[in-house]
């Protein structure tokens, strides 16, 4: 065949001769098979090989039969969404690829939340089975923090003025500052939660004590750690917003600083415990601070300072 552009025609030509074989069931059933992408994929890469196998019929009959037997089309298509393992092969551009980071049930979620707040850093070690990364916490805990920052100030003002005092000050509310708060908390929190892990990942990889650190397999795992560390900012933002009502007093400012420092301590402790928890027993005795931990804590302190100065 000099002009071997369409394999379909070639096979038709070859199948003329198949009639000679008596034991062949019905060769014209097979004639439609090479149209399917499943058949063409393994062979079209090397055209020469394809045609050579098609030329001698004794070889071509066997793979064709083998491929015809299962209802290949439906099975392959139907299998992928149902199997959990099939999702690993999805490309990162698809929505379904990311949906695996959002699959978690309530008990698991509660367990993780309580693990953040109760200083149990050996919590995740015991169950490596469901220690998968989820971005759900990172996205929605951060969203809650942002929403609290946005609504609480205005809400408290509204309640105090309109409901308790009974004075309507519709035009006096400082809406610009509210929206500034919203925008600043969005970029600050989401930027920190989803941006800084890329830096931290590189640092953790290049650390000389890297055997001590937990081996993060992927960026989403680290992002989820950072996202759950944001949990402490929910109560802190509530308290800070309440304190913010009487900002003039110096003691209130000092208390705000103290609370932010508390939040920094708790969340950086959580981050450290998550990053070190690979071999927990060894690291407890050698508390020598490695470079990566220092960098992480410093970045976190920077974030807290920004939080204090920009948002409040």
Q: Does 208 interact with other proteins (rule: CB under 8 A)?
A: no
The torsion region of residue 166 among left (phi > 0), alpha (psi -120 to 50) and beta comes to left
Question: Of 307, 302, 297, 235, nearest to 269 (Cα)?
Answer: 297
Among 77, 163, 176, 287, binds other proteins (CB under 8 A): 163
Q: Which is nearer to other proteins, 43 or 144 (CB)?
A: 144
CB of 96 to other proteins, least distance (A): 5
Q: Which is nearer to other proteins, 182 or 265 (CB)?
A: 182
**Which span sits near other proteins by CB under 8 A: 112-120, 160-168, 250-258, 296-304?**
160-168
Q: 142: part of which helix (H) or strand (E)?
A: helix 135-158
Question: Of 188, 212, 215, nearest to 201 (Cα)?
Answer: 215
User: If DSSP codes are grouped into helix, strand and coil, which group holds residue 167?
Assistant: coil
CB of 99 to other proteins, least distance (A): 4
Per-residue binding string, other proteins, 169-188, x by CB under 8 A, is: -x--x-x-------------
Q: Does 151 interact with other proteins (rule: CB under 8 A)?
A: yes
**Which span sits near other proteins by CB under 8 A: 9-17, 47-55, 97-105, 235-243?**
97-105
CA distance 50 to 35: 14
Q: Which is nearer to other proteins, 139 or 196 (CB)?
A: 139
CA distance 45 to 58: 22
Q: Does 166 interact with other proteins (rule: CB under 8 A)?
A: yes
CA distance 141 to 91: 27
**Which span sits near other proteins by CB under 8 A: 121-129, 137-145, 283-291, 304-312?**
137-145
Say how many C-beta atoms besides its own lie within 10 A of residue 9's C-beta: 12
Q: Does 278 interact with other proteins (rule: CB under 8 A)?
A: no
Helices 219-229 & 106-117 angle (0-180, nearest 10): 60
Q: Does 168 interact with other proteins (rule: CB under 8 A)?
A: yes
Which residues are CB-neighbours of 140 under 8 A, at least 6 positions away?
none
Q: Does 143 interact with other proteins (rule: CB under 8 A)?
A: yes
CA distance 88 to 104: 17
Task: Say what the alpha-carbon torsion angle 100, 270, 260, 134 is, to the nearest 10 degrees.
Answer: 0
Among 17, 42, 70, 155, binds other proteins (CB under 8 A): 155
**Which span sits near other proteins by CB under 8 A: 5-13, 119-127, 139-147, 256-264?**
139-147
Q: Which residues bind other proteins (CB under 8 A)?
A: 81-82, 95-96, 98-106, 109, 136, 139-140, 143-144, 147, 150-151, 154-155, 158, 162-163, 166-168, 170, 173, 175
């Amino acid at each position: 065949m000099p002009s071997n552009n369409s394999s379909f025609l070639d096979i038709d030509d070859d199948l003329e001769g198949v009639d000679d074989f008596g034991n062949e069931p019905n060769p014209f059933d097979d004639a439609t098979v090479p149209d399917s992408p499943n058949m063409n994929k393994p062979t079209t890469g090397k055209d020469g090989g394809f045609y050579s196998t098609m030329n001698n019929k004794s070889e071509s009959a066997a793979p064709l039969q083998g491929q015809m037997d299962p209802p290949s089309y439906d099975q392959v298509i139907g299998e992928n969404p149902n199997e959990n393992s099939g999702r690993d092969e999805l490309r990162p551009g698809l929505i379904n690829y990311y949906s695996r980071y959002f699959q978690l049930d309530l008990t698991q979620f509660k367990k993780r939340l309580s693990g953040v707040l109760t200083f149990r850093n050996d919590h995740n070690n015991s169950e490596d089975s469901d220690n998968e990364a989820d971005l759900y916490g990172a996205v929605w805990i951060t969203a809650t923090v942002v929403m609290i920052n946005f609504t609480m100030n205005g809400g408290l003002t509204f309640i105090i003025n309109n409901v308790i005092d009974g004075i309507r000050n519709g035009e006096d509310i400082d809406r610009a500052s509210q929206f500034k708060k919203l925008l600043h908390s969005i970029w600050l929190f989401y930027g920190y939660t989803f941006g800084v892990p890329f830096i931290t990942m590189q640092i953790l990889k290049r650390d000389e004590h890297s055997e001590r650190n937990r081996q993060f397999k992927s960026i989403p795992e680290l992002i989820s750690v950072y996202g759950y560390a944001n949990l402490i900012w929910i109560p802190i933002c509530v308290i800070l917003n309440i304190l913010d009502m009487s900002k003039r007093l110096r003691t209130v400012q000092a208390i705000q600083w103290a609370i932010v420092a508390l939040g920094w301590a708790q969340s950086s402790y959580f981050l450290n415990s998550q990053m070190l928890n690979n071999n927990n027993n060894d690291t407890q005795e050698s508390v020598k601070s490695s470079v990566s931990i220092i960098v992480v804590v410093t970045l976190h302190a920077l974030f807290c300072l920004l939080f204090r100065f920009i948002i409040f």
